[in-house]
Amino acid sequence: MTQPLDSNRSTIEAFDKTQIIQELMETTAKLQTKFQEEDDEEKQWLVANSSNPEVLSFLQESTVMMLHVIDAIGGLEPVNGITISKQFGIPKGSVSKITRRLVEKKIIRTEYLPGNKKEVLFCTTSLGKEIFDLHQALHRQIDKGVHRFLQRYSEDELKFIMQCLQDVLEASWVQVESEEEEALPESSQVMAQEQQVSQATEDRDDIMKMMKSLSGPELKKAKAILKDVFFTSYDE
């Protein structure tokens, strides 16, 4: 039996959407790998653009988090650990551990407010300042690359990308049970509706075949039964 054209089209569209979502999820996983690889690429750029042996030695053993802390200190100095943690989303424990290492390596130094020896403030040393400036140059290089990359898209496409990113920031991939209880995914709704329509079409066709096989008197009897069962209201 041939399904209606609109039904087939809706089923195909639902399948296409499900397939696209799956491809998006797979691409997201690949993006995570790409970002990890770019950490190495960024470090290679930093090494290639510095001739200071002390900077090169530090870069060989530095981590991305250490560079973020240097960025925070270089941009806000003098600054305390709590501010670094809040402004850049770095856990307090990580800030404490990293700043101790940076002090030992003479990348940053500590100082105190007059009359307050409890609050420790961090500043970059001359070596730390050089690393900070080098890392800022890398950020400018990345900004140029991102800007050049996004030029390929139209204004409407960029607005759509921005909306998607904003939605991602507000979404949770974990806490979805309550939302699923309220509403099924659109693709599931479409498929369920199409199954109902398909079943109703099959039932109607079967009934029509049965009716065509009946004789005149039998057809009148069937009509009376249908009217009596389905189209007559009975008061209690």
- 121 vs 68: CA distance, rounded Å: 17
- 192 vs 171: CA distance, rounded Å: 26
Please state the separation of Cα 3 from the chain's center in Å: 37
pLDDT score at 215: 66
Find, among 134, 136, 125, the residue nearest to 99 by Cα: 125
**What does 200-217 look like in DSSP terms, one character per residue?**
HHHHHHHHHHHHHTS-HH
Task: List the beta strands (DSSP E) in the chain.
Answer: 108-113, 116-124
Q: Which of 91-95, 119-123, 184-188 has the lowest mean pLDDT?
A: 184-188
b/e 163-197 (16+ beta carbons within 10 angstroms → b): eeeeeeeeeeeeeeeeeeeeeeeebeebbeebeeb
Q: Are 7 and 197 in contact (CB under 8 A)?
A: yes
Q: Return the structure tokens found at 170.
A: 């507000």
Q: What is the pLDDT of residues 18-47, one digit of tens each?
A: 888 788 788 877 877 777 667 788 889 999
- 43 vs 138: CA distance, rounded Å: 9
> Which residues touch 205 (CB under 8 Å, ≥6 apart)?
1
- Report the SS3 class of residue 192: helix
The backbone torsions φ and ψ at residue 186, rounded to the nearest 5 degrees and listed phi first, read -55, -40
Mean pLDDT for 175-186 is 54
Partners of 110 in the beta sheet?
122
pLDDT score at 234: 47
Q: Is the pLDDT of residue 157 over 80?
A: yes
Q: Is the pLDDT of residue 65 over 70?
A: yes
Which residue is associated with the tokens 């491809």? Answer: 23
Mean pLDDT score across all residues of the chain: 79
> Which residues touch 141 (CB under 8 Å, ≥6 apart)?
45
